Structure 1
Amino acid sequence: MVESCTFVVFGATGNLSRNKLLPAFYHLESAQRLPDKMAIVGVALQEWNTEYWRQQVAQDIQLKARGDLNREILARLLQRLHYFQGDFTVVETHQHLKAYLEKESQIFPSNIVFYMSIRPADFGVVANNLGAIGLNLERDGWRRLVVEKPFGYDLVSAEMLEVQLHRYFRERQIFRIDHYLGKEMIQNVLVFRFANVLFEPLWNRNYIDHIQITHAETAGIEGRAGFYEGTGALRDMIQSHLLQMLTLVAMEPPPNMDPESLRDEKVKVLKSIRPISVSTVRSYAFRAQYVSGSIGSNKVVGYLNEEGVASNSTTETYAALKLYIDNWRWRHIPFYLRTGKRMATTASHISIRFKEVPQQLFRRTPIHRLEPNWLLLGVQPNECLRIELQTKEVGLEMRTHTTGLDAASCGQEEAKLDAYEILLLDVIKGDNSLFLRDDEVRWAWQVIDPILRAWATEREFIPSYNAGSWGPSETGRLFDCDDQHWRNTL
């Protein structure tokens, strides 16, 4: 049984809360998954009251709800909402918040989740303020602290953040949320690998040629120049989302599915990634920046012409990486990761190419070359699992064509769970399987840090690619073999 709790959201009037968290709570309310007495307390600087906040949330959910809005469900959710005005960067606000929660104890359960939907610069400040007045202590119920990415901007800042978080909170109380891990297909990778005996014998260096992990977006920086100029594609996507996808694809079977066993295996993968030295970055990483082009029928400006972007900026909007995992299973098998803004389409997928057959039996037939087998996992927007095999064409001659074997869900447009619905419910249940552990964050930064340091010294020039394309052609130099190429679609 899920225990009731008080869910405190710092930054309750911000975009994340309005567009993701509150709509997720609505859908959990609709599914009857929220504890009966659970309360949600929004903390923000705006001088609002509870009634006005409820009105704003109702308007937001009308726009974000899947399907037809259910007024009865919305009313039930709104009754859970309570607004607390204050500056969460000062300790006095937390003192008043503590007094408020204790005074209204019949409304607010003693178990508390603190969700930091705030600027990364304030994570440590809020954690220290909570600890300074004892809101971290579990005397009358459990306490959980939810931290949104990014977890630092490089290895040093990530380690500093961990020191701040652990000053008052124990590791088991900290939930570092990466919403990608809540996506259905990402979780399905584990089921696909470990619930089917068919693929595990093939899941190694003997049969797999290489693995690609792609996240492409048609969107630009969407007016977030202040954030993106200090972040870039490598930090924003590869260090977090794409490396997490890599660990799930490459990990060994855990002894069981408890959170620590699962996260232990993910950390082993990150620890096994071959280190990249600053001097060899050019052989393993590539960056670029979009210039003007067309997305569909719409003309779009280049990155340097986006509002708030410096005219001489070398911030990358495209990043590609080649990694090797030096363990028994994956020795010498390249993993290619790439992400980009203003790409030809919006899609995330994992593409696994198998090696060619060891003997060319058909050389005296019209078959000149056999295409390799692929295993394709679509993550978004369409969740899909597809296997590509070679079969004979109908006819008198020996010719082949590629046949795709699709999972039953491929191409269906049924309503999907949002990742935040899954992850918020896991926080309430205390299941941290899909959340990052402190050593996991540290090892991920160790993979990326040499690349960041090398690129920081290259401020005069950055390659470009046209908006609406699949990125720069020069990125092909990362491939080990001439017959390897980016797989752009499923």
Structure 2
Amino acid sequence: MLDMKTIEPCVVVIFGANGNLSRRKLIPALFRLDVAKRLPEKMAIVGCSLEPWNDDQWIEEVSGMLQSRFPGGLDEEVFKRFRARLHYHPNPPGSGDAYQNLQKKLEETPGFSPNLVFYMAVRPSEFPSIIDKLGTVGLLKQNKGWCRVVIEKPFGYDLLSAQTLQRSLYHHLNEPQIYRIDHYLGKGTVQNVIVFRFANILFEPLWNNHYIDHVQITHSETLGVEGRADYYEGVGALRDMIQSHLLQLLALVAMEPPVTLSAEHLRDEKVKVLKAIRPITQNSVHAHAFRGQYTAGIIDGKPVPGYLDEPGVAPDSTTETYAALKLFIDNWRWAGVPFYLRTGKRMAENSSAICIRFKSPPRDLLRHSHRELPHPNWILLGIQPDDCLKMEIQVKVPGLDLNTRTLSLDATYRKSSEEDYDAYEGLLLDVMQGDHSLFLRIDEVEWAWRAVDPIIKVWAMERGFINGYQAGSWGPRGTYRLFDNEDQFWRHSLNPEGGDLQAY
């Protein structure tokens, strides 16, 4: 987690340095850390990609990346300091001595620290090959300094592939060297879930199945596949978002208080939650999971194509762009409380939120004065774009009659004068500091795959039909069958007037 610990000098080597992730996230994040003077003076950044560039060409590329991300201009002094950190190593396909040359560069360049971070900003299929070659030339040994490897999701495509990938990594790495990054966990509001849960005793007596009716965790996007169909066709919404990001949010909401907030104690409690998720049998998949695929529609007043019309998508594809699940956590605290998870592309809004609905009072004393159904209490944790904390309660409407309305208590925590940071900034600092708290341990990954594996298998066999939903809507019709009670509906808004909105 982002703090002011001293960082040892190190060399950050980015594989896929000319790729989308490096351009959009990693290089800008490292630059912002340099602006904030959070990088050690002798830290170096080595870009490693297929292009046969030299250092000057790489520096020119980085300058273009940053100018496009910071249209207001770059501070000349900071950029001068940053560009002095930049080095480049070409890694063309078929080169037999590229990794030996990389070893020589890292070990013999004056001023380079023996501490190494290797960031795998490449396709997941390339992880084992790169790590094997690094290990073969001895770059993963920790003889003179520490060595850490950062791996982006997806970590495998199912439980078996995740275990196979892990075995290949263990040939050259031990578990403390591996940082499985989930950028979602680096978001300030996600970390605020931990603070909300464990720094406020106010809610702890209510945080159980006696008072909570159900929990909804939503991530919706207005974007489509944005030219990434070759990746998305093999992944889909269930793997892309639910297996990683949303199950992590579920674990943070549901876990027991850890002994401390150290990495191992925190991850121990998250694993306990994932282990307690009730297994979904293949026969019960349709009662617990729903999938859909967007069709042509209107987003922000402009027509957009359907998924099957996107470049690179197979005309008969049944890859889901929308997925919704109902999960149960079979432990003492959460027995009987459904957790509803959903994600989708080309939805009505960009929104990520955790919505916790409380049960109705055991006896409604105001039932004779209600002109409509009573409204339950909610706790709403907005993650993006509205990072907020709200609580909805019922109050009396001014006047002679005893009528009620919903009042939202807004505890938005960021002040206008406080600067936010990108998730990758904090996570990169954590890697350099050796803090695993917001990174996934292998047993977390495996138990998350176990939760969704039966669904993956059934959907893979059922390739004849998938529900469609119009781009710009809130998803396919029929998702109501996931709910246990008639008064449960998807929460589409963080505002009281947009509270319970039926999801078809």
- TM-score, normalised to structure 1, is 0.97
Which of the residues 347, 350, 353 maps onto 1:346?
350
1:332 partner amino acid: G
Counterparts in 2 of 1:348 and 1:366: CA distance versus 1, 3 Å: closer
- 1:42 pairs with one of 44, 47, 60: 47
Give the C-alpha shift of residue 107 in structure 1: 2.2
Change (3 A) 1:456 1:252: same
Q: What residue is the counterpart of 1:132 in the other structure?
A: 136
Residue matched to 2:146: 142
Is 1:303 aligned to 2:307, yes or no? yes
Counterpart of 1:11 in structure 2 is 16
Aligned residue number for residue 202 of structure 1:
206
2:30 to 25, 29, 35: 25
**Amino acid across the alignment from 2:115:** N
Give the SS at the match of 1:7.
strand
Report the counterpart of residue 486 of structure 1 in structure 2: 490
The aligned runs of 1:318-337 (5 Å cut-off) are 318-337=322-341
Task: For 1:383, give the aligned amino acid.
Answer: D
Select which of 175, 180, 203 maps to 1:176: 180
Aligned 1:156-235 pairs, distance under 5 A: 156-235=160-239
Correspondence list, 1:239-250, <5 A: 239-250=243-254
Once the two structures are superposed, the pairs formed by residues 91-102 of structure 1 within 5 Å of their partners are 92-102=97-107
Q: Secondary structure at the match of 2:478?
A: helix
Identity %: 56
Q: Which residue of 2 aligns with 1:396?
A: 400
**1:60 and 2:68 aligned:** no
Please, which runs of 5 or more residues in structure 2 have no aligned partner? 1-5, 495-504
- CA positional deviation for 1:65: 3.2
Q: Are the structure 2 counterparts of residues 401 and 16 from structure 1 closer, same or farther at C-alpha, using a change threshold of 3 Å?
A: same
Give the TM-score, by structure 2 length.
0.95
| C-alpha contact (below 8 Å) 1:10/1:88 kept by paired residues | no
Q: Which residue of 2 aligns with 1:378?
A: 382
Choose 63-72 or 458-467, whichever is displaced more. Answer: 63-72
Aligned mates of 1:156, 1:313 — CA distance in 2? 24
Identify unmatched segments of 5+ residues in structure 1.
none
- SS of the aligned residue for 1:439 comes to helix
SS at match of 1:167: coil
SS of the residue 1:28 aligns to: helix
Cα deviation for residue 69 of structure 1 reads: 2.9
In structure 2, distance between residues paired with 1:332 and 1:68: 54
Q: Does the 8 A contact of 1:177 with 1:435 survive in 2?
A: yes
In structure 1, distance between residues paired with 2:124 and 2:284 = 31
Deviation at 1:472, TM superposition (A): 1.1
- Note the 1:357-376 alignment, pairs <5 A: 357-366=361-370, 368-376=372-380
SS of corresponding position for 1:274:
coil
Q: What letter matches 2:155 in structure 1? A: F
| Structure 2 Cα separation of the partners of residues 333 and 378 of structure 1 | 21
What is the deviation of 1:75? 1.8
Q: Aligned residue for 2:120?
A: 116
Deviations 1:41-93 (A, max 9, x none): 11111011111111111111122238653222122111100001123786632
Post-superposition CA distance 1:147-193 (Å, at most 9, x none)? 01010011111011000111110000000000000000000000011
Aligned residue identity for 1:22: I
Q: Which amino acid aligns with 2:435?
A: D
Who is 2:500 aligned against? none
Query: For residue 497 of structure 2, what is the aligned residue in structure 1?
Result: none
* Cα offsets for 1:8-43 (capped at 9, x unmatched): 111111111111000000110011110110000111
Q: Name the residue aligned to 1:86.
A: 91
User: Does the 8 Å CA contact 2:120/2:152 hold for their aligned counterparts?
Assistant: yes
Cα distance in 2 for partners of 1:16, 1:486 equals 32
Q: Which moved more, 1:161-170 or 1:356-365?
A: 356-365
* 1:88 and 1:94 in contact (8 A); partners too: no
Going from structure 1 to structure 2, the CA distance change for 1:366 and 1:479 (only over 3 Å counts) comes to closer
1:277 corresponds to: 281
Task: Determine the C-alpha separation between the residues in 2 that align with 1:313 and 1:446.
Answer: 25
**Equivalent position of 1:263 in the other structure:** 267
Report what 1:417 is aligned to.
421
For 1:389, the aligned partner's letter is I
* Residue-pair matches, total: 489
Deviation at 1:291, TM superposition (A): 0.6
In 1, Cα distance between equivalents of 2:480 and 2:416: 33
Could you list the runs of 4 or more consecutive aligned residues of structure 1 that deviate by over 4 angstroms after TM superposition?
A: 88-91, 410-415
Question: Which string of whole-angstrom CA distances, capped at 9 and with x for unpartnered residues, describes residues 424-461 of structure 1?
Answer: 00000000100000111111101111000000110111
Change (3 A) 1:374 1:366: closer
Aligned with 1:465 (options 435, 444, 469): 469
Query: 1:88–1:439: structure 2 CA closer, same or farther, 3 Å change rule?
Result: farther
3-state DSSP class of the match of 1:168?
Answer: coil
RMSD: 1.5
